[in-house]
Amino acid sequence: MAAETATVQLELVGTPFVIADEAPYCSFTDIAALKDGRLAVVYYAGKSHVDDSAEIHTRLSSDHGKTWSKPSALRVPENGSHPRDPHLTVLRNGTLLLSYFIYKGKTPDACRSQVVASTDGGKTWSNPAQVDVEGSLWNATSGKIFEADEKTLHMPLYLCRKGETNEESGVISSSDGGRTWKNYVTIAKCPAAGMDAPFNEAEFARLKDRSIVALIRAEGQPGGALAISKDNGKTWQAPEKSPVGHAPGLLVDGDWLLVNYRNLKVGTTGLAISLDGGRSFAHSLTLSGSVTSWGDCAYGGIVKLPVGAPAAYLTTFYTQHKGKVATMGCYFNVR
């Protein structure tokens, strides 16, 4: 990994702990801080990596992640829809948006992204708003919805166009609180950033200079791609290589870009910090040891915790644990 001058270091506080293991395969997790101070995690709970009977589960914590509530299942309307990759966003007005994608049946054109909303802290959810992109065979999402301003939401999307084989990564927007989505824009399409690879999963973050950064997975590559928008997500500069990008979970805190990611080369979950918006990384740590040969782990999120919590930050991810795949948490500081 390219490195900056190591002026900061990540420091784990304690060891990773189990948040959810009620199903054999609790994975693809995200975390968010609610307006009332509680933390919420969402994750995929099923029998295996592919399971038509799987559900999206949620858990809450009122003590900064030390303990968690029993799981609550989010029932999507379609039976056998195989809901995947849930991500949770808390809007400025307190509304919760949960994005995920469904995979109905055995053909690629059955894959579609969906969004549900809650105005009561997750007790009840709206009917799903389905995302469609004209000319695409299928689409999916695996990143938080990003609130660009009071009127504009951006959702990272990846898709395959009809008649093509390679996936591309892009963004689709909403101006009505997530009820409808339109104006899809491509961010990274093969070839890009010097890589002849499909581009797919991405996540966005607002850097200190007010630009938006996207870290993007490049299929089969050890690193990923990075793209910058200077106009609030309307247009994007040409992607460039980044040492990190596989299943990114992002948090910006001042000059720091914190990233939870999968190290595909060795099959581990990594945590890294960048001082230049993701072009290089000053320090990185391993959160979980080597797992399966294809690295079935990571896909997490990061939240900043208030004074008095066990640490400054909490990150979530999934990994193999005691014969299951579990959703895990780990506290850390930056020094």
- Which structural domain range is residue 157 located in? 10-334
> Is 5 a domain residue?
no
For residue 50, give the amino acid letter: V
User: Where is pLDDT greater, at 332 or 6?
Assistant: 332
Predicted confidence at residue 218, as pLDDT, reads 95
Q: Confirm whether 58 is domain-assigned.
A: yes
Among candidates 125, 95, 99, 136, which has minimal Cα distance to 114?
Answer: 99
- Domains contained in the chain, number: 1
Q: Which helix (H) or strand (E) holds 177?
A: none
Is 311 contained in some domain?
A: yes
pLDDT at 1: 52
Instruction: Give yes or no for residue 238 having a pLDDT over 80.
Output: yes
pLDDT higher than threshold 80 for residue 290: no
Strands (E), 240-307: 240-242, 249-253, 256-263, 268-274, 283-288, 298-304
Residue 167 lies in a domain: yes
Q: Which of 99-113, 304-318, 319-333 has the lowest mean pLDDT?
A: 99-113
pLDDT category, 173, cuts 50, 70, 90? very high
pTM of the model: 0.95
Structure token pair of residue 314: 């909490």
What pLDDT digit, counting tens, does each position of 72-98 carry?
998 776 656 789 999 999 999 999 999
Structure tokens at 159: 């898709």
In a domain, 168, yes or no: yes
Question: Average pLDDT over the chain, rounded to whole?
Answer: 93
Does residue 1 sit within a domain? no
- End-to-end CA distance of the chain: give it in Å, rounded: 20
pLDDT of residue 294 exceeding 70, the answer is no
Q: Is residue 217 part of a domain?
A: yes
- pLDDT at res. 7: 87
The CATH code of the domain that includes 18 is 2.120.10.10
3-state SS record for 185-222: EEEEECCECCECCCEEEEEEEECCCCCEEEEEEECCCC
Mean pLDDT across 204-229: 95
